[in-house]
Structures are given as C-alpha cells and as structure tokens.
A and B are shown apart, each in its own frame.
Chain A
C-alpha cells in the first residue's frame, strides 16, 4: 500500500521553511517526517503529516505551491545490514529508487521511498514479506 506525501516548492529564502511549518502547527497538524532536497535556487520539501488532506488544503490556501504524491513506507529492524538488505531486494528486481529518506522510532527504521515502478515495488514487498505501513499505522507509531 502507498501513502500520501506532500511536496512543496520552496525558494531558498530566509525564514520560508519556518513559515510553512507554522501554517501546520497552528492548525494542530503533526509532522511525522520531513526532508528537504535542494538545488542552488530552490528546494523541494517533502512532508508526511497526521492529516495530509487538511495540510494540503491549508498550504494551498496560504498560496504555497504544493501537490500530493504517493510513496511507500517500509518498517525495518534498526540493526546492522537490514537497510542494505531491503534496498538490495529492489535492485535485484531491477527497480530504481528515485529518492528516499528515513527516520527511526522505537528501535524501528522507517524507509520512505519513491521508485520508478510502483507495481513492481509492491510485488517485491509481497515476495519478501516486508512490513509495508499504511497511513494510519504510520500515524500511530
């Protein structure tokens, strides 16, 4: 199963990240995880929050360039070699990882990734019995 991720176009401008995050905190939306990828001119902020639909609407109301896209969240044990092992499964199946970020909670590492082939990725998850998290599960960690 996939989860919704919000992507936000972010200019490299002092205070902008803070401004965007405070739109969310004011409305009691919890940020579960976030990452910023950047070039010299702009960046993309990727966010998973406790209420993606409401968060997206809020951001748009505040004139933020944002959209919703789907990514996979996989929970693995936070032990040596587990991360490598998981990625290897995708590589063996010929699937490219477009981008990935991870965070760790209660001895678990959560990988959030976007691949070039979502159906093939689901097949890999099923074959290796990976712990693929839903939005609700992610929210209750």
Chain B
C-alpha cells in the first residue's frame, strides 16, 4: 500500500508484464476449468485444453459462455472444485427463467474483497473513513461484496442495507459517514429526503465520496448527484457472474473505468458478428476470469455494452479503461425500426432541473403502430402555471425527438410515484404483443 495505490506493483505494471501474467493465469484457468462438468464436456467436444493456449490470442479458439449456459447448468454444473471447498453462493433474481448461481471458495472471497478494497482506495477511501452501504444484503452482491472490501481496507463499516431513508440519514449524521455506496436512483432519493428533513448534506453531513453502481447511469446523472449531495461520485461496474462490485471502477480522473486485467481478460465484440471491435467502438464486453477457483468462466458474454478508451490514464494505472456502460444489449429497444437505449432518454431528462430522477419508458402497440410513453417524475413544483408545465412537456418531447428520432408521449407524474425496487429501478416496460 502506498499513498496513492492499494497495490502499486499490480496497478501500474507494464503492459508487457501484465500480459505475461494474464497468459500464465489463463493457462491455469483453462486447465482448472476442465474440472467442472460443463467445461469438461465442452472442451472434449471442441478438442480444447490448456495446451491450446500458447498466446493470449489463442483464447479466441474457445467458445463463448452465456447466461443461458449458467441457467442450463443450474445450480452446480460449473463448479470446478469439490463442493466441500465452496463456502458461499450468490444467485441472481431469476426474474426470467432459472436463476443463475455463482460459487465462491474462501480464496475467491478474499480475492474479491481485495479487488473491492483496491477500487475504494483508488477513489480516496482510507482506513479512517466511515463507510455506509445502502445496498440490499443477501443474494445481491452489492451488500456483502462492499462489506468485505471496506472491512479489508479498514473502514468503520455500516451495513445499513437498503431502504428507510430517514434512518439512513440518521446513521449518516450520527456515525459521521464519509463514504456511501448506492444505486443511482437511490442517491437522488436520499438527496430529496435530506431536503424534506430541512437538512443540507453539505453542512449537516460529512459525506465526501459516493460509489454509484448496479445500474447504468449517465454523466448528467452523476453531475446531478454530485451537485445535490456535495460530494464526488464514482461510477463502479460489477456483475454477480464476475463476483459482483469491483470488476471495473473509475479513478479520481472520473474519465472511464479501469478494468482490473490481472483478474479478467477483457474482449469487446460486435454482438452480431462476434468479431472484436476497434478501440473506441461500442460492443459487448466479454470477460474471462483469471483467479476464480470455484467457478471459472471462459469468454463470458456479459451483455453489457461499452468501449475501450484509448490512451493512458494520468493516474498512472496501466489497466485499460472502459467507457461507462451504455446499456445492456438486451436493453436495446427497437421502436418503429429505430434502435434506442434507455440511457439516451435519461441523458436528456437529467438536463431538466424541474424534473426528478425517476422515469419509466413504456412501449405499446396502438393500432398497428408502436408508441412510446415516457413518464417522468416532477421535482418540487416550480410553478403553478399550466402554460409553463405544458411548455416543459413540449420542450422535453422536442429534445427527446432530436435524440431518438421518434416522438414519444411525455407525461409528468408526481414525485415518488414511479416504481423503485430496492434492487434496481424499473426503466422500461415493453407491452407489445410480439415482443
């Protein structure tokens, strides 16, 4: 540990050394993966083994692993160690079909905690900080993942868990919380409750850092969170299949997320052609674990869309940066033949100070046409003049049309009236029969 880095040697390793380390770990991973029933069968069918790997490029010989594979081999088909060595499992919600399960050995949990600590240290969290986690605990990895990371770092850690905003604020004030982890939609909810309680987070709290994750969010939303709460907000990326939080994280430059390449090999592919995209081009991220014991994953298709950011980061870390997540390839809506991502709509909405943070996009068939309804919560009422409310609606509609090339119906709704689950906010409802 140095003043700036949690693990300087790894974080600032030369690219050549990093790739050497990756190759070494990839060979081990492939050899070890063949202990799982799923990969044993797959490798035998394709005639692949650890010997197939001579260079990092040889990874391309291996087929992709998908969420479907995880579901079809539910619950233990991808376990690469004896069951008695597995100490924890996390599971996705499974709202569509079988849930997916991710298994961990003791070493896996230690490596994960270290990865989260590395991320938190990077954004300036230190032993003297008080860290409050507003994630749901239990199966959702944002709870225990951050808990162990923050404890390893040495923070006083408050496992407040999700919900009960008044109590969260009481904790923030009573315990002197300096660092908070939330999902973006909850960050703004907290800001509202501060206001409702007649409190100013800048004066009435010690908050200075916020780790914001679990939902893709826009730069505009980050700026609003920072303004509302008077702190620095850092974007973090994680997914339960890759442990959970800590896979990639912004540094203090706030310009792209460093993805830890000693832990994963990153590819970004065109989801249609499955070929790699150029640096800077958006595609689907594909990850191969390099340290996982209980459940190694080879070329796992994350469905998350991002791009590599070219160039070196002034922070000195050599691990490549990815752009903030643009959405999931499954999130893409095709409406009247136009490809639209919810994040495009969010970016526009966040520019209106009159609006709150929550919105819901509903697509439905009316007659033979697809129609899009965008409901957005109003903030505090800024006027009691109908004309002004109507021109606000018109202006939102105009700007959305410029962005997504079709005209949605925009409806203002009351603050707090759109569904916010304790896990993730519901952003899109597709009611079309043929979807």
Q: Name the distance in Å between A13's Cβ and chain B's nearest Cβ.
A: 8
Partner of B196, one of A8, A9, A60: A60
User: With A37-B386, A41-B411, A44-B386 in contact, do A63 and B416 touch (Cβ < 8 Å)?
Assistant: yes
Chain B residues with CB under 8 A of A46: 384
Most buried by A among B386, B413, B414: B414
- Binary per-residue interface labels of chain A (61-97) against chain B in the complex, 1 for a CB within 8 Å, 0 otherwise: 1011111010000000000000000000000000000
Confirm or deny: B366 has a beta carbon within 8 angstroms of a beta carbon on chain A. no
User: With A65-B380, A67-B380 in contact, do A9 and B412 touch (Cβ < 8 Å)?
Assistant: yes
CA distance A16 to B414 in the complex (A): 10
CA distance A60 to B192 in the complex (A): 10
Confirm or deny: A7 has a beta carbon within 8 angstroms of a beta carbon on chain B. yes
User: With A37-B386, A61-B196, A63-B196 in contact, do A42 and B412 touch (Cβ < 8 Å)?
Assistant: yes
Q: Name the distance in Å between A139's Cβ and chain B's nearest Cβ.
A: 21
Chain A residues with CB under 8 A of B413: 11, 42
CA distance A127 to B416 in the complex (A): 47
Q: Name the distance in Å between B20's Cβ and chain A's nearest Cβ.
A: 56
User: With A9-B378, A60-B196 in contact, do A69 and B384 touch (Cβ < 8 Å)?
Assistant: yes
CB atoms of A65 and B415 under 8 A apart: yes
Confirm or deny: A10 has a beta carbon within 8 angstroms of a beta carbon on chain B. yes
Most buried by A among B378, B381, B384, B411: B384
CA distance A69 to B381 in the complex (A): 11
Confirm or deny: B379 has a beta carbon within 8 angstroms of a beta carbon on chain A. yes
CB atoms of A7 and B416 under 8 A apart: no
Chain B residues with CB under 8 A of A66: 380-381
Chain A residues with CB under 8 A of B379: 65
Q: Name the distance in Å between B161's Cβ and chain A's nearest Cβ.
A: 21
Q: Which of B267-320 contact A (CB under 8 A)?
A: none
Most buried by A among B382, B390, B412: B412
Q: Name the distance in Å between B323's Cβ and chain A's nearest Cβ.
A: 35
CA distance A69 to B382 in the complex (A): 10
Confirm or deny: B351 has a beta carbon within 8 angstroms of a beta carbon on chain A. no
Number of residues in B with C-beta < 8 Å to the partner? 21
Chain B residues with CB under 8 A of A16: 414
- Binary per-residue interface labels of chain A (1-39) against chain B in the complex, 1 for a CB within 8 Å, 0 otherwise: 000010111110100100000000000000000000101
A20: nearest residue on chain B (CB-CB)?
B414
- Binary per-residue interface labels of chain B (346-383) against chain A in the complex, 1 for a CB within 8 Å, 0 otherwise: 00000000000000000000000000000000111111
CA distance A67 to B416 in the complex (A): 16
Interface contacts (Cβ under 8 Å), in number, total: 51
Most buried by B among A9, A10, A61, A98: A9
CA distance A42 to B384 in the complex (A): 12
Q: Name the distance in Å between A46's Cβ and chain B's nearest Cβ.
A: 7
CB atoms of A98 and B378 under 8 A apart: no
CB atoms of A10 and B414 under 8 A apart: yes
User: With A63-B416, A65-B414 in contact, do A8 and B385 touch (Cβ < 8 Å)?
Assistant: no
CA distance A61 to B199 in the complex (A): 12
Partner of A67, one of B195, B196, B382, B386: B382
Chain A residues with CB under 8 A of B380: 60, 65-67
Confirm or deny: B417 has a beta carbon within 8 angstroms of a beta carbon on chain A. yes
A63: nearest residue on chain B (CB-CB)?
B416
CA distance A65 to B196 in the complex (A): 11
CA distance A39 to B385 in the complex (A): 12
Chain B residues with CB under 8 A of A9: 378, 381, 412, 414
- Binary per-residue interface labels of chain B (177-199) against chain A in the complex, 1 for a CB within 8 Å, 0 otherwise: 00000000000000010011000
Partner of B385, one of A5, A65, A98: A98
Q: Which of B382-429 contact A (CB under 8 A)?
A: 382-386, 389-390, 411-417
Partner of A41, one of B384, B412, B417: B412
CA distance A7 to B390 in the complex (A): 16
CB atoms of B414 and A64 under 8 A apart: yes
Chain A residues with CB under 8 A of B416: 63
CB atoms of B415 and A67 under 8 A apart: no
A8: nearest residue on chain B (CB-CB)?
B381
Q: Name the distance in Å between A54's Cβ and chain B's nearest Cβ.
A: 13
Q: Name the distance in Å between B189's Cβ and chain A's nearest Cβ.
A: 10
CB atoms of A67 and B414 under 8 A apart: no
CA distance A46 to B385 in the complex (A): 11
CA distance A39 to B411 in the complex (A): 11
A7: nearest residue on chain B (CB-CB)?
B384
| 25 examples of A-B residue contacts, CB within 8 angstroms | A5-B384, A7-B381, A8-B381, A9-B381, A9-B412, A10-B414, A11-B417, A16-B414, A39-B386, A41-B412, A42-B389, A42-B413, A44-B384, A46-B384, A60-B195, A60-B380, A61-B196, A63-B196, A63-B415, A63-B416, A64-B415, A65-B381, A65-B414, A65-B415, A67-B381
Further contacts, 9 of them, CB under 8 A, given A11-B413, A64-B415: A7-B381, A9-B378, A41-B412, A42-B412, A60-B380, A61-B196, A64-B414, A67-B380, A67-B383
Query: 7 closest A-B pairs (Cβ-Cβ)?
Result: A7-B384, A63-B416, A67-B381, A65-B381, A65-B415, A11-B414, A9-B381
Point out residues on B near A: beta carbons under 8 Å. 192, 195-196, 378-386, 389-390, 411-417
